[in-house]
Chains A and B, each alone.
Chain A
Amino acid sequence: MIHGGFRAMGTTVEAWATSEASWVDTRTLFADVEAELSRFRPDSALSALNENPNRHVSVTGRLAAALVAAADVRDRTDGLVDAGVGAAVTAWGYDRTFTQISDLDSPPSGLTAPVWDIADGVVTRPPGVALDLGGIGKGWTADLAVEAGYAVVASAGGDIRSADPRAVVPVTGPDGDVVATLAVGVGALATSSTARRQWRVAGERVSHLIDPRTSRPVRSPVVSATVIAETGVDAEAGAKAVLMLGVDGLAWASRQAWIRAAMVVWDTGSVYGTTGLRLAA
């Protein structure tokens, strides 16, 4: 098994492949998708879409496929995970790669609720709505890498997709300690956390996760949420939704047929999970 890591999509990507050629294919895939879907690249297809002043815009290829996936998880999470928060993410200060973010003196105002849709390759959204694929893009690319047969396991900053039935994943908490080692097998695992990517707005710490219901950074007693599902997109969307739902997150996750198990790290340091968790150690 070939194993190695590389930088892509603002994070570290690791891939396990059966051959060096497959591993290189995985790395190439991530680079290509980033070039197409990154909102930080002015020449990406996503940036072109966001800058297009027209209400209806035709999209093709990977951008269209990723947006269809994003619209699907938005509907399944009742709008909790919405790629349409791009304008709010930017307004709150996350308008450049995380290492370049600087604090803001005051919070933004006048933000509108995200409204957008995609049908038959046409994106419809009013002016001012920007799309940000964020973590969904990472999970979606990890899915592509495994489903295309390039990687046996692909991990994009903690969004993991696996075709290995023996796959186990140690999940670290906000302090960097391993809070649980989970058996994933053939499936996917993703962790969403407010502890790492933080900066200050008007002196108050904010995270990069924008709650679409309020267009404000999420406030939750859950500092880290992990979800195991069939695909990377589902795991990523589930983890975000569980975190945003806070106290009700695990109960919500247990009612979703597409979520196998969920685990949260509370702001006290406690760790809770649903009964579907399979501990590997």
Chain B
Amino acid sequence: MSRLPLSRLAKIGAWTGAAVAWGSAMVMAKEVAPTAESTTTTAPMTQTADASYGSASTVPAIPNDGLVILRYKPIPEPEPEVVTRVVTVPVARSPSSTSGGTPPVATTAPPAASPSPSPTTATTTQTTNPPPPPPPTTTTTAPAPPSSGS
């Protein structure tokens, strides 16, 4: 009988430990499950009744001998909910424009925003947040005529 090398013994020990831990976890899970079930069954009846109504389907449970549909009206689609939110975006100022005297260059990529911008950069909004393009109804730039193909 040859002796196992020390590294192999360590591997066997590690796998055995893992297997025991996994088995223990499974036993604990089995012990926990009945507790969860008993919690469910002792829920107040009012909650159960409300829950069954809240999850009501659009059709009744179908009897074994069939269901007669005399008139069908689906649940009306709910009106879309419009949520208006005002979002404030923190801005960072280019290190070269801390004096405020130099107009920003909108065509260049803005520098990476600092995680904690200093209060002196609060006026450089346009640098990192260029204003949206003018709406198409602007009269200063006439739109190009539609192309018929080149």
Contact between chains at B59 and A272 (CB < 8 Å): yes
Q: When each residue 93-133 of chain B gets 1 if its CB lies under 8 Å from chain A and 0 otherwise, what string results? A: 00000000000000000000000000000000000000000
Known contacts: A216-B46, A268-B75. The answer to whether A246 contacts B56 by CB under 8 A is yes
Q: Among A32-40, A121-129, A228-236, A247-255, which stretch is in contact with chain B?
A: A247-255
- Taking CB atoms and an 8 Å cut-off, the chain A residues in 250-281 that contact chain B are 250-251, 253-255, 263-264, 266, 268-275, 277, 279
Contact between chains at A247 and B56 (CB < 8 Å): yes
Instruction: Give every chain B residue within 8 A of A216 (Cβ-Cβ).
Output: 46, 49
Contact between chains at B61 and A275 (CB < 8 Å): no
- Taking CB atoms and an 8 Å cut-off, the chain B residues in 32-57 that contact chain A are 45-46, 49-50, 52-53, 56-57
Instruction: Give every chain B residue within 8 A of A246 (Cβ-Cβ).
Output: 52-53, 56, 60
- Taking CB atoms and an 8 Å cut-off, the chain B residues in 56-97 that contact chain A are 56-76
Known contacts: A254-B64, A275-B65. The answer to whether A270 contacts B56 by CB under 8 A is no
Instruction: Give every chain B residue within 8 A of A248 (Cβ-Cβ).
Output: 60-61
- The verdict on A214 contacting chain B, using a C-beta distance below 8 Å, is yes
Known contacts: A214-B45, A221-B53, A251-B60. The answer to whether A271 contacts B65 by CB under 8 A is no
Contact between chains at B74 and A268 (CB < 8 Å): yes
- The verdict on A7 contacting chain B, using a C-beta distance below 8 Å, is no
B138 CB to closest chain A CB (Å) equals 49
Specify the main secondary structure of chain B where it touches its partner.
Answer: loop
- Report the number of A-B residue pairs with Cβ-Cβ less than 8 Å: 91
Instruction: Give every chain A residue within 8 A of B74 (Cβ-Cβ).
Output: 268
Contact between chains at A211 and B49 (CB < 8 Å): yes
Instruction: Give every chain B residue within 8 A of A104 (Cβ-Cβ).
Output: none
- The verdict on A180 contacting chain B, using a C-beta distance below 8 Å, is yes
Instruction: Give every chain B residue within 8 A of A213 (Cβ-Cβ).
Output: 45, 49
Contact between chains at A251 and B45 (CB < 8 Å): no
Q: In the complex, which range does the number of interface residues on chain B fall in?
A: 20 to 34
Counting chain B CB atoms within 10 Å of each CB, the highest count among A180, A266, A275 belongs to A266
- The verdict on A179 contacting chain B, using a C-beta distance below 8 Å, is yes
Known contacts: A211-B49, A246-B53. The answer to whether A268 contacts B60 by CB under 8 A is no
Instruction: Give every chain A residue within 8 A of B52 (Cβ-Cβ).
Output: 246-247
Known contacts: A219-B50, A275-B65. The answer to whether A250 contacts B60 by CB under 8 A is yes
Q: How far is the CA of A213 from the CA of B68 in the complex (A)?
A: 29
Instruction: Give every chain A residue within 8 A of B69 (Cβ-Cβ).
Output: 270-272
A-B contact pairs, 14 of them (CB 8 A): A214-B46, A216-B46, A222-B60, A247-B61, A250-B67, A254-B65, A263-B70, A268-B58, A269-B71, A269-B73, A273-B68, A275-B63, A275-B65, A275-B67
16 more A-B contacts (CB under 8 A) besides A246-B52, A247-B57, A274-B67? A179-B70, A179-B71, A216-B46, A222-B60, A246-B53, A247-B56, A248-B61, A250-B62, A250-B63, A253-B63, A266-B59, A269-B71, A270-B59, A271-B69, A272-B68, A277-B70
Q: Nearest 10 pairs between A and B by C-beta?
A: A254-B63, A269-B73, A221-B56, A271-B70, A271-B71, A273-B68, A251-B61, A251-B63, A250-B60, A219-B53
